[in-house]
């Protein structure tokens, strides 16, 4: 028995919405699948996972340090650069341990807008000069004998380091010694200097 033309048309039209819905679901599933494949955690998330850094995201308290030559440097005058602020002292063994890596980090970042500010809690420049033993440094070293800057920043122990973006926003906080020459840290800092 042959079906009538109107019956065949009704059968086709009832299958058409089902085919459209199935096609839309398949398309959406494929789009979401490929988006998830390409999704990568932000560079900050990777640094926090690998190095125990803490995400901070708040305005960095401005400060002024006095350099050995008597000149003064304000953090806010460094806007436009990523600023790595390290709180340290020569009497702190872990601080002394990480200084060569911080010097290497400073040298490796010389091609991007970056400044490493090492804020020392030492009482005088004499201790710093003895520690440096006449070796030149590319770091900007400032003195904070009252530890007022480190307290304002919430530093709990030495060494402690912070990454401040080009707009003056604290991004990350590191407590204790880190492998500052690790390329993942350097890539993060370069990314922040060039993309923020």
11 has a pLDDT exceeding 90: no
Spatial strand order in the sheet of 160-164: 54-59, 169-175, 160-164, 82-88, 114-120, 140-143, 64-66, 72-74
Task: Tell me the pLDDT band of 38, cut-offs 50, 70 and 90.
Answer: low
Cα separation values, 186 from 78, 153, 191, Å: 19, 23, 8
pTM of the model: 0.78
Task: Give me the percent of the chain exceeding a pLDDT of 90.
Answer: 67
- Could you tell me how far CA 36 lies from the centroid of its own chain? 24
Give the pLDDT mean for 11-40: 60
Instruction: Tell me which of 26 and 104 has the higher pLDDT.
Output: 104
End-to-end Cα separation, the chain, in angstroms: 73
Cα separation values, 33 from 20, 23, 27, 36, 163, Å: 20, 15, 10, 5, 34
Instruction: Tell me which of 51 and 70 has the higher pLDDT.
Output: 70
Give the pLDDT mean for 50-64: 90
Instruction: Tell me which of 32 and 18 has the higher pLDDT.
Output: 18
pLDDT digits (tens, 9 = 90+) for 121-131: 999 999 999 99
Distance from C-alpha of 78 to C-alpha of 5, rounded to nearest angstrom: 80
pLDDT digits (tens, 9 = 90+) for 72-90: 999 999 999 999 999 999 9
């Amino acid at each position: 028995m042959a079906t009538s033309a109107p019956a065949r048309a009704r059968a086709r039209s009832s299958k058409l919405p089902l085919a459209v819905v199935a096609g839309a679901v398949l398309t959406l599933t494929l789009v979401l699948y490929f988006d998830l494949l390409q999704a990568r955690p932000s560079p900050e998330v990777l640094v926090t996972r690998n190095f125990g850094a803490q995400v901070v995201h708040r305005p960095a308290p401005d400060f002024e340090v006095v350099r050995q030559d008597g000149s003064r440097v304000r953090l806010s005058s460094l806007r436009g650069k990523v600023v790595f602020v390290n709180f340290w002292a020569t009497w702190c063994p872990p601080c002394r341990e990480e200084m060569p890596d911080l010097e290497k980090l400073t040298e490796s970042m010389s091609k991007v807008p970056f400044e490493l500010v090492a804020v020392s809690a030492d009482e005088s420049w004499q201790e710093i000069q003895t520690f440096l033993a006449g070796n030149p440094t590319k770091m900007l070293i400032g003195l904070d004998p009252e530890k007022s800057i480190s307290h304002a920043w919430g530093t709990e122990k030495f060494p402690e380091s912070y990454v401040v973006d080009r707009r003056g926003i604290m991004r990350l906080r590191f407590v204790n010694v880190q492998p500052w020459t690790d390329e993942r840290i350097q890539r993060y800092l370069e990314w922040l200097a060039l993309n923020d």
